[in-house]
Structure 1
Amino acid sequence: MTDGSGDAGGAPGDAAEDGGTTPGDASDAADGDASSAAARTARDRAERRILPALAAGTVLLLAVLFYYPVGTVLVEAVRVDGRYTLEVLVGVLRDPFYLGDLAGLFAGESPLAVAGRLLGPDRRLGIVGFTAYQAALSTLASVALGLPGAYVLARFEFPGRRTLRSLTILPFVLPSIMVAVGFVATFGDDGTLNAALSAVGLPTVDLLFTLEAVVIAHAFYNAPLVTRVTTAAWESVDASAVETARSLGAGPFRAFRDVVAPQVYPAVLMGAALTFVFTFGTFPIVLALGGFELATVEVFVYRLIRNLEYAEAAALAIVELAVSLGLLYAYLRYEARHTVRSRGVRPLPRHRLLPASPSFGQALVRVGVAAYALVALTVFLAPVLSMLLASVTGPDGLTLEHYRFLVERQRTGAAFQVRPWPAVRNSLLFGVGALAVALPMGVVVAVLTTRDYRGRKLVDAVAMAPLSISGIVVGLGLLRGLVFGVEVWGTRIAVGGALAVVAAHAVAGYPFVVRTVGPGLDALDRSLVESARALGASRARALLDVELPLVRPGVVAGAAFAFAISMGEFSATVVLATGTEQYTMPIAIERFIGRRLGPATAMGVVLLLVTSASFVVIDRFGGETGGL
């Protein structure tokens, strides 16, 4: 008993000496637990509000940088000399110069009479009709050139296939004015095409300032887009479905028609729809290769702006917006219904492009692939190689005179002249600024458009509207709104030219971030997110720690797209930079090409190197990504 009571009596002291809990320690621990719980509660509350706050900020930014400027343009069309009127807009709709025979509908003529003239041999298309006509031809050429490429990439295995697949999107983000310089160097009177024809004794051709040159240039741009989206769909076809059809007696053609084609043609239509939207709003290529003889709606909007005829320019822009937004809405609805998902499928096996002992049928296919490769190499490589060659070629052969001209212009150029280094510096600074705005905007919009809730399609359409709004319209809206200044509660707020250019570039680039990040988020295994949430992670924490790391390639690719698109943006920049020191490399090229082709090609090579370097990021860190 004595030993037991002594042990019992000594226990508290021993416990205290060994670090046991005293009443004061217990109180401190309780206070610490309460403080920790309060901190966790505050942190959880803050994390729950992060996504709504980011969404609200993105919506506000999009409203200020895009919808308000575009709305300003729309108001310009109906508010003339301080009063609201539809006279200018109605005048444009009734003008045969703009709408051709279709203008009769708005002038009160019978639809049957208008249709009869449109179907007759003497029909008049007008500027809008010609724009749609060249866009339709460009779409057909892009699909015809891009579809065989998708077949080769999806169905054959060969060295360099993955690299070639990654490069299919590169022409699409190359600066359009640089492509125009390449086509001038190829199809001009002294271009490489005529030089090659003369070398073999054939007559030369005059393709510059023709519709054919414009269509080929548009195919250069958009055929890779058709190839990429169609390849992704083809690689998502389940091989077991094809095998089942073959086991039931279907031949190769019928298995393709009944199983493969229904899963591939929606992607072809998507690529065609996007191509039509992009080529309907074309500007730099037509301006450089077609001139005002083949002017599109966009060229005339720019011309009216240069003549300070803002109301008529805005009215014509409304017509363009109506066509583009209608097509974009139809495309998004179609995409929502025919999205091809690759989860849980076994892709079709690829065949060797050069088998050891090909059959007769295989040999014919290979001959067709070789012929296509020859055409594709001519269309895709000739402009770039011609530009490179023209930059180091003069009347007396190889020379670096064009690059020396750029150095000399930088050293002694007058204040009103475009100099190379400010153009390069501005392009880089605007690219970094646009990336800083476009990347978080794109990621937030991608999150919003990949969640299941009512109204998601509307959010997607609203967020993707910049794809269908031309840079000229955005530039005009920023110029007439934020740059000229806005009255807010008696205070005039104006945004400087550099910030306006960054805003225009960010608006042009962020949809591509959405289109590269969104498919990755949509394809993630939702159980991973649910597990993180079950372990106590907030919605924002699950996004940052689970989802975004898994779609890192798409985020990196989206960043590269946004930067490259900013580097090559021309349409909005030419409106905002006119008469200022905010010119970029594309603006410098346009100024040079109007006077001397050599310096323009040299500046184009500089722009090509800088733009292509941004895609090294994709190869190094991004890998193959979905979406665009």
Structure 2
Amino acid sequence: MLYLPVGVVFVEAVLEEGSPTLGHFADVLTDPFYVGFLADVVADPVAVGSHLASLLGWLGAVSVSLSLEYPIPGVGVPVPWLAVETPGVRMGLFGFTAYQAALSTVASVALGLPAAYVLANYEFAGRRTLRSLTILPFVLPGIMVAVGFYAMFGHAGTLNSVLGVIGLGPFAFIEANPLAIVILAHAFYNAPLVARITVAAWESVDRRAVETARSLGASERRAFRDVVVPQLAPAVLTGALLTFIFTFMTFPIVLALGGLQLATVEVWIYDRVQRLDYAEAATLAILETILSLGLTYAYLRYESAQAGFARTGSTSETEPLFPDVRTALSPERLAIVAYGLVAVIVFVGPMASLVLGSVTDGTGFTLRNYAFLLERQLEGTTFQTRPLPAIRNSLLFGLATLFVAVPMGVVISVLTVRAGRSGTVVDTLAMLPLAVSGIVFGIGLLQGLVFGVPLPGGWRLQVTGAIAIVIAHAVAAYPFVTRNVSPLLSSLDPAMVESARALGASRYRALLDVELPLIASGIVAGAAFAFAISIGEFSSTVILASGSESYTMPVAVERYLGRRSGPAIAMGTLLLAVTAASFVVIDRVGGRYEL
């Protein structure tokens, strides 16, 4: 379900009229449009001096500046708010893609780590529910996120409406600098991912080691730097790596908010496919995959090297966030409040604007959009897109994906953790679903498994329908289980299992009573990610769904959006509600098995 479809597309890059060739790679690697100044390096590797001059010129082209200005009262002139300057053609398509991915990763980590800190260390009303909902942005279809950001940050959006009440704005949030909005939208997607991965690690920090360091004279800051940070580093780097790969391979957000003027490699692959230039698209996809797998391998080597220094310890009780008025006015609590305001604007604002758009139109409040969905459900035929079958299919496919992806992810974690250095290679190859272009995967599914692959003896391999959708979802989801379980599994003390075995426990009993409880938080987090991937997956679902009854909620949103935006936004709101409730249930049920 992965290697065969990808191979069907990749072969286009190495064959020309049936003969092997590397000409397509040479064309890309020597074209400044794709690789910038590196094209000269490939074409003439000996000219070191001129290449260094080009590199210095490229570095001088990168800049990020912050300028917040207020318009003249009564004039309302739109002004820039965050100026993120694009570095120009010297970087090339790959360079710009890496540039925006690096900025998006920094923004995601900067927004995700404070959330992880608060959720892991403080107790407050709704904490458990909020923790469950941290995965919610990750499930939204890209087009719905784009619609939500336009509704929030557009010239007539919610934020400008709120600022207008106090006499500010309107600000040209999107028009002035679309790259800044793209980075913010990427952070909307990936900061909750960073937070969720880091929370599990933060709750497993050995508090006794922190107390020991403090008793030996270390300040609170020194104990945090020397004891807590090393235990959090693998989880933070995991979130940062996944964010960089996702944003390096970004497609719907950039296409919707930036268009071809901010084209990434993935957007250009899509454009090449639209023009039926499969050879160039496959060449770009192979180069993109090599870069992604290289980054994954480098990180996994680091994670493997750090595994011996991490230990799962006893967690202390969380303290109340606002126990009294005096504490609430402390600098730390005020900083948390300020972060909460930023989080409301970045995370709650687009979703709230989306919900608001489902019950309003140009004239005010209306339930016309939901009435359309109800009418379609009650009177629609089997050939029409109805809400309830879409909700039912999404939930069933999500549950089935859990039963496949969670065991897959745990088994691969065990294999790679216990295989030593060779396990890193296996782990890197197992991460291929994260490194392969979604466009290439979708085209490969269509050209390969949907149309069928001829086999010897007159047989034909063809995979469609519900089973194919579940398998494709599981293949896309199991890496998230592996990445959540592996750090905890590698930190287990083997002596604990050996002690259980020495006391008469069977291997199965030791696994059940010792190992699984210690990695339960990672399994639960991985299961939530797997369910989210299944619920929000679109490209493979729309290709593999055969018949009129296999569509899911994202597919229904896309079908409605092609006709009327109002019902599409209403269906997107139902997607929000159903998935939010599902994640809360998963976390509450899974929490019973956590320490």
- Whether TM exceeds 0.5 here: the answer is yes
Q: Contact (CA 8 Å) 1:185, 1:386: kept in 2 or not?
A: yes
Change (3 A) 1:624 1:473: farther
Matched AA of 1:86: L
Shift of 1:220: 1.2
Question: Structure 2: which amino acid aligns with 1:143?
Answer: V
Deviations 1:111-167 (A, max 9, x none): 543442343246522222221111111111112112222333344343443443343
2:366 maps to which residue? 399
Distance change in 2, residues 1:203/1:508 (3 Å):
same
Structure 1 counterpart of 2:8: 72
Higher mean displacement: 137-146 or 147-156: 147-156
Q: Secondary structure at the match of 2:36?
A: helix
Q: Which piece of structure 1 moves more, 599-608 or 611-620? A: 611-620
Whether 1:170 aligns to 2:170 is no
Cα deviation for residue 593 of structure 1 reads: 4.1
DSSP-derived class of the 2:168 partner: coil
Aligned mate of 1:379, from 342, 346, 353: 346
Of 36, 40, 54, the residue aligned with 1:117 is 54
Shift of 1:465: 2.4
Confirm or deny: 8 A CA contact 2:132 2:584 kept in the other structure: no
Indicate conservation of the 8 Å contact 2:196/2:525, yes or no: no
Matched-pair contact (CA < 8 Å) for 1:328–1:465: no
Q: State the Cα distance separating 1:536 from its structure 2 match.
A: 9.1
Structure 1: how far apart are the matches of 2:261 and 2:547? 26
**Structure 1: where are the runs of 5+ without partners?**
1-64
The one of 321, 326, 329 equivalent to 1:353 is 321
Please give the alpha-carbon distance, in whole angstroms, between the structure 1 residues aligned to 2:263 and 2:321: 43
TM-score, normalised to structure 2's length?
Answer: 0.82
* Contact 1:431–1:563 (CA under 8 A) maintained in structure 2: yes
Tell me whether 1:491 sits opposite 2:458 in the alignment.
yes
Gap change, CA 1:288 and 1:233, over 3 Å in 2: same
**Separation in 2 of the partners of 1:468 and 1:339?**
24
Alpha-carbon distance, 1:412 to partner: 8.1
The alignment of Structure 1 onto Structure 2 pairs a total of residues equal to 561
Matched, 1:182 2:118: no
**For residues 510-559 of structure 1, what are the alpha-carbon distances to aligned partners after superposition, in whole Å with 9 as ceiling and x for unaligned?**
2223345556655487655875698695x678767986688667656544
Match of 2:443 in 1: 476
**Given the superposition, is the C-alpha separation of residues 548 and 358 from structure 1 closer, same or farther in structure 2, using an over 3 Å criterion?**
closer
1:302 deviates by 2.1
Classify 1:144/1:442 alpha carbon distance in 2 versus 1 (closer, same or farther; 3 Å). Answer: closer
Are 1:172 and 1:221, in contact at CA under 8 Å, matched by a contact in 2?
yes
How far did residue 83 of structure 1 move? 1.6
Q: Check the 8 A contact 1:517/1:555 in 2, yes or no.
A: yes
Q: Which secondary structure does the structure 2 equivalent of 1:459 belong to?
A: helix
Q: What CA distance in whole angstroms lies between the structure 1 residues aligned with 2:530 and 2:130?
A: 21
Question: Structure 2: where are the runs of 5+ without partners?
Answer: 62-87
- Asked whether 1:83 is paired with 2:19, we answer yes
Distance 1:582 1:320, change over 3 A: farther
Q: 2:423 aligns with which of 446, 453, 456?
A: 456
Q: Which residue of 1 aligns with 2:266?
A: 298
Read off the aligned partner of 1:214 and give its amino acid letter. V
Query: Residue deviations 1:538-597, cap 9 Å, x none?
Result: x67876798668866765654443233112012444565699986543234345446643
Q: 1:530 and 1:356, CA in 2 relative to 1: closer, same or farther beyond 3 A?
A: closer
Q: Matches of 1:111 and 1:595 in 2, distance apart?
A: 56
Q: Is the 2:273–2:281 contact (alpha carbons within 8 Å) kept by the matching residues of 1? A: yes
1:349-380 superposed Cα distances (whole Å, 9 cap, x missing partner): 755432437479x7122221111111112111
RMSD (CA atoms): 3.7
1:96 is aligned, of 22, 32, 38, to: 32
CA distance in 1, matches of 2:100, 2:36: 15
- Contact 2:204–2:312 (Cα < 8 Å) also in 1: no
Alignment of 1:43-442 (within 5 A): 65-108=1-44, 110-120=47-57, 121=61, 123-208=89-174, 210-339=178-307, 345-347=313-315, 350-356=318-324, 358=326, 363-407=330-374, 420=387, 423-424=390-391, 426-428=393-395, 430-442=397-409
CA distance in 2 between counterparts of 1:119 and 1:581 reads: 57
Query: Hey, what's the Cα distance between the residues in 2 that align with 1:545 and 1:425?
Result: 35
CA contact under 8 A between 2:151 and 2:353: conserved in structure 1? yes
| Whole-angstrom CA distance in 2 between matches of 1:117 and 1:123 | 12
Query: Cα distance 1:491–1:581, how it changes in 2: closer, same or farther (>3 A)?
Result: farther
Q: Measure how far apart 1:331 and its partner are.
A: 1.7
Q: Does the 8 A contact of 1:590 with 1:600 survive in 2?
A: yes
Stretch deviating more after TM superposition (168-177 or 507-516): 168-177
- Residues 185 and 387 of structure 1 are in contact (CA less than 8 Å); yes or no, is this contact kept in structure 2? yes
Q: Secondary structure at the match of 1:504?
A: helix
Give the partner amino acid of 1:485. Answer: G
Distance 1:453 1:367, change over 3 A: closer
Q: 3-state SS of the aligned residue for 2:107?
A: helix
8 A Cα contact 1:475 1:576, kept in partner: no
Distance 1:303 1:407 in 2: 37
SS in 1 for 2:2: helix
Deviation of 1:501 after TM superposition, in Å, equals 3.8
Aligned-pair CA distance for 1:460: 2.1
Alignment CA distance shift 1:409-1:201 (3 Å): farther
Once the two structures are aligned, what percentage of the paired residues are identical?
59
Once the two structures are superposed, residues 374-394 of structure 1 have per-residue CA deviations (whole angstroms, 9 ceiling, x without a partner) of 111211111111111110111
Distance 1:191-1:592 versus aligned 2 partners, 3 A rule:
farther
1:216 positional shift: 0.9
Q: 1:408 to 1:84 in 2, by over 3 A?
A: farther
Point out the structure with max Rg over C-alpha.
1
Residues 301 and 316 of structure 1 are in contact (CA less than 8 Å); yes or no, is this contact kept in structure 2? yes
Aligned amino acid, residue 442 of structure 2: G
Q: Which residue of 1 aligns with 2:565?
A: 597
**Counterpart contact for 1:233–1:264, Cα < 8 Å:** yes
Amino acid across the alignment from 1:354: F
Report the AA paired with residue 183 of structure 2.
Answer: V
**Other-structure match for 1:510:** 478
CA displacement 1:194-237 (0-9 Å, x = unmatched)? 32233433322333471122111111121122223334444444
- The answer (yes or no) to whether the contact 1:467–1:508 under 8 Å persists in 2 is yes
Tell me by how many angstroms 1:253 deviates.
3.4
